[in-house]
Each structure stands twice: as C-alpha cells, then as structure tokens.
A and B are shown apart, each in its own frame.
Chain A
Amino acid sequence: MSMNAYVTLSAVLFSIGAIGVLTRRNAIVAFMSVEMMLNAANLAFVAFAKVNGDLTGQVVAFFVMVVAAAEVVVGLAIIMTIFRSRHSASIDDANLLKY
C-alpha cells in the first residue's frame, strides 16, 4: 500500500496546526495547534519508517511524545499563571511589551 496517503495526511495536519497557531487568539487553542503539528510530524516519521524499512522513525515518535508531554507541563503552567493574573488566556490581551 502506498505511503503517500499517510504523508499527505501528515502534511495536511501540520498545515492546519500552523494556521491554527497563527490565527487563533486563545493561548490554549494556539498551544493545541502546536501539539497537532508535533503529532503530524510523528505520523510522518512513522510512515517514513515503514517506507524506509527501519525502526528509527518509530523510536523518534516515542521520544517526541515524551518531549510533547514535558512541553504541555511547561506550557500549561505558563498559560495558567497568565490566566490567573489577567483573567484572560487571549494572546491579544497580552500586549504590554511593544515599541
């Protein structure tokens, strides 16, 4: 079976994630979009591992899951503190730093 479908799906997921980060204003949604981009990369890694016939891609996917979990911990902590001090998780509301 052709792996093209999987790679195409991963590219679509990655693009949706990237557009999500750039357009959504809620920090949590933007962050979810980033996670989607990471998972798109995972899908691509696993599909390419099948194409290439070795396990590297699958091992990479495991590492990425762990790293993504660590990133969630840090990211949600930061978003939580911002939400508690401003009562808003909107990226547009965080606008004190500018020229």
Chain B
Amino acid sequence: MMLAALSSFATPNFDYVKLAPVLIVFAGAIVSVLVEAFVARTQRRSVQIVVTFLTIAIAFGAVLNNYTAKREGIEAMGAFALDGTATMLQGIILVVGVLGALLFAERRVDPAGDAFAPRASALPGSSDEQQFTEAGWLQTEVWPLFLFALGGMLLFPAATDLLTMFVALEVLSLPLYLMAGMARRRRLLSQEAALKYFILGAFSSAFFLYGAALVYGYAGSTNFGGIATALSKMTNNEGMFLLGALFVAIGLLFKVGVAPFHQWSPDVYQGAPTPLTGFMAAATKIAAFGALMRVMYVAFGGARWDWQPIVWVLAIVSMAVGTIVGVAQSDIKRMLAFSSVAHAGFLLLAVAAASKDGLSGSLFYLATYGVTTVGAFAVVSLVRDATGEASHLGAWAGLGRKSPFMAGVFALFLLAFAGIPLTSGFIGKFAVFSAAAASGATPLVIIAVIASAVAGFFYVRVIVLMFFTEATEATASVVVPSGYTRVVVGVTAALTLVLGILPQPLLDLAANASTFLR
C-alpha cells in the first residue's frame, strides 16, 4: 500500500534555467538577510548595495540568456510559465528595479542620511530617534525587503497557477507594506500610509483568494490551462465561476490601481518614502498588469464576452476618476497617483482589446510608463525645502526660474505622461489605442482620447506653474544629488526621449514577445 503510493508519486519537473531569474533574486535576498546578521553596522550599507546590484545584474543576465535562447515552457508542475511576455516583463521589472535601487542608495539629498528612518522602531520625535539620527544609523533592512519584493514581482507575471500567483502577490506586497512605513521625514504620514496600504491590500488579497477558491470549485484545477479547458467544456455552475473570476480580478485590479479600487494609491504615494513610491508605482503596476493580462487572456479567455463589458466600464471609470480628481490635487505625489490611476485606465484598453496587438502595445506602454514614473519620482525627491521634500504644488511655483534644468527634465516626464509626440508616452498610448480600435472598441478609444486631453491639462498646469510664475520665498530648491540619482534622472530622461523618437526596436521586441503559453 505504502509502496504503491510512493511509486505513483511523480517527481516534479524543474528546469532551473527557466526559473533562474526569480531564484537568483530570492537567493540574493537571503544573502542580504545574512548580511544584516553578520556584517558590522559600519559596512552594512555598502555591502548591501553591492549584493543588491550584483543580484539584479546576474538576474538580468539570466533573463537575457532565456531571451536569446528563446526558452519557453511551463515548468514546476504547471505553476510557472516562461514565455515571451514573462521574459519581457521580467526584463522590464529588473530595469525598473535597478533604477529603484539607485534611488534607495541615494544619501546626499537628505542631510541626515537616506530616505528611510534611522530605526523604524523608534518613536517619531523621541530622543531615541534623535540619537539614532545623530549616530548616522541607517535601516539597512530595506535592502533585503527590496529584493524580496523584486523577486515576487518577477514571479507574479510568470505565475500560471492561482496558488503561485497568490503567493507571488503576497511576497511582493508584504515588503512594500513595511517599507511604506519607513520614511525618515513625516513619519506619522508614512506609518499611516503603511496601515492603509496593509489593511486594504490584505482585504483585496482575501478577495483574490476567495475568488481562486470559487474558480477551483468550478474548474477542479487552479492551473490556468486547466481552468481554460474546464471553461470550454462545462456549462453548469457558471454563476460560481463568474463570481470567482470577478473576485480574482478585483484582487489584481487593486494592485494595478484601477478605479474604484484605487483608494489606497493617493495616500500611499504621498506617505511612503519617495524612492519607494517611484519603485512601487512603476514595478508593481508592471508586474500586476502582466498577471492581470495572463489571467484574463489565458485562464478566463473563454469567458471573454462576460468580462469585456466590465473591463470597458472600469477603463472609463478609471480614466474619468484619474483625470478629474487629479486636476484638483495640490500635492505633487498625490497628483502623480491620480495620473497613475488614469494610466491604469488607458492600459485596460489593451485588456479590453484582448488581442495580440493589445498585448504588445501594453508591454511597450508598461516599459515606457515604468521608466518615466521612476524618473518623475526621482525629481520629486530632489525638490526640497527646510522641512524635507516640498511636495506641495505651491512650493513648485517658479521652480523653472530657479533650476531650469531639473524643472525641464520634470516637464519632459509630464509631457510623456500626457502623451505628447516625440516622447515615449505618445507611442505607448498610440499602440494601445490603435489595438483597441482595431478590436472594435472605437467608443472606448474616443473616450480615452478625450480623457488624455483633459489629463494633458493637469500636466501642463504644473509646467506653467514651474516656468511662468515668478520664484518667491516659498519656492523650494533643487538639491544636488550624488551620482546615484543623477544616473536615474539621466537614464530615464534619455529613455523617455529616445523611445519617443526611435520606438521601433522596443516595439518589435514587444511584438515578438507578446505570446502567452497555456
């Protein structure tokens, strides 16, 4: 009996080369934890930086290796799919991850240290905190947390099983919740952001999980291929499936930040330390959108006629909320949060299109949006006054007169968000809109174009504020950063321009990559 059970046990099949990018980042995260335990405090920061960048570099090498060898396949007993889309998204996430890590490493912007609290456990405003600040302590635990989040993000768009996807969702979210509460300045705001992010995030992942349970009850499998097969065969219990699919989608739409599931994003964007906001805003959106598309295309593709109208409505609501509420914001980080809600709406057009063009368009869009977002938050982290970051828009009035270069770079990012030609944002929007139009969603595209025009108003408003207002006492100044942030600002600005003028190589890459295995 026992022997029979053992002999019928199939050993799972792992192709470690295909899993390498994810495994390398998790291995790096574990090394990083060990560094926390065994390296002296004085050297910890530099060792952590070396470990982090080395990990990302090796993982990127593994992604390139998978790409050049055109490795594809479903691994780990149908839990992990390596296909064109997964490889490309992993590459994009690692590039954004490197830019985010560079912002994390910045130490010259704040005279007291980096962007994170010297000890997250010390009470805000206490004498303990003061001592830690004076002693120059740094919370180097952000590095292992960063790597764990990055590993979860690499796994998320490649997960092809609801359980793997749930675990990846939590692995990427939990470190982000913690890091959101670790800002050096305005710690109460930061802690509040962490609490809101955590409660709402846990709430939405519970929805995801219950949805997964219902889908499993309907299909008898948590595997996307199995769900798609069941969907094509079965006709009973449709209600249970639809409810489950809706709950799964809610969990993912929350992470993407689609209205009406965006309530956390303005608060978290504003309260979290700015380097983290930049990284999270870009990388979470890329990973979660990849996961959303995989679920919708691969697992629930057979029920397209049921979910497409809902996606239409969500896209419209998201674009409307993002642009209309965004206009009323007086804080630059909140404004960028609503801009990201609007962008999530534009990206949903690609899901609504449910075509290969939609997929490749959204891959391009995600790459350019991610790069521009990290760049924009890098500039936000440099605009400061005596109390720290000056994120209030009033302090940005006249910035263009005071520091024309940085204000100019920020204006470039805003124009890219608005989708002005010769910036990468225009090409991304064009690719997604034309894919949606080709699939017959013309009314949706018309609404999207109107929404982009309205959104253009609030980006231009900031540019006008920066350049056509006299600088006053209240105008913040731009701090001269160290090489880390300079590299980020330079690279993101260059990519935003280059991808706007010469988008073809990346468009071709996205077109070739736009496949899903099932």
Contact = CB atoms under 8 A, between A and B. Distances in A.
Contact of A81 (B181, B213, B267): B181
Contacts of A77: 178
Contact of A27 (B188, B199, B203, B334): B199
B314 interface: no
Interface string B321-353: 000000011000010000000000000000000
Interface string A12-51: 0010011001000001001100100110110011011001
Interface stretch (B47-55, B62-70, B214-222): B214-222
B270 A34 contact: no
Contact of A94 (B120, B167, B192, B209): B192
Contacts of A9: none
A21 B166 CA distance: 20
A34 B202 contact: yes
B104 interface: no
Given A10-B213, A48-B216, A97-B270, A85 B191 contact: yes
A21 B212 contact: no
B356 to A, nearest CB: 31
Contacts of A51: 217
Contacts of B203: 18, 21, 34, 37
B192 A96 contact: yes
Given A41-B213, A78-B178, A70 B195 contact: no
Which of under 10, 10 to 19, 20 to 34, or 35 or more describes the interface residues of A? Answer: 35 or more
Interface string A56-99: 11011001100100110011011101101110000100111111
Given A10-B213, A48-B213, A82-B191, A30 B163 contact: no
B196 A74 contact: no
A98 B264 CA distance: 11
Contact of A84 (B123, B199, B270): B123
A86 B188 CA distance: 8
Interface residues of B, number: 44
Contacts of B214: 44
B202 A97 contact: no
Interface string B171-193: 00010011001000001110111
B503 interface: no
A59 B216 CA distance: 12
Contacts of B11: none
Interface string B197-213: 01100110011011011
Given A63-B167, A99-B328, A38 B191 contact: no
Given A18-B203, A37-B203, A97-B196, 18 more contacts: A7-B217, A14-B206, A30-B199, A34-B199, A37-B210, A38-B206, A41-B206, A44-B214, A52-B216, A67-B166, A78-B198, A81-B120, A81-B194, A84-B123, A85-B123, A91-B199, A94-B196, A96-B189
Interface of A: 7, 10, 14, 17-18, 21, 27, 30-31, 34, 37-38, 40-41, 44-45, 47-48, 51-52, 54, 56-57, 59-60, 63-64, 67, 70-71, 74-75, 77-79, 81-82, 84-86, 91, 94-99
Interface of B: 120-121, 123-124, 163, 166-167, 170, 174, 177-178, 181, 187-189, 191-196, 198-199, 202-203, 206-207, 209-210, 212-214, 216-217, 220-222, 266-267, 270-271, 328-329, 334
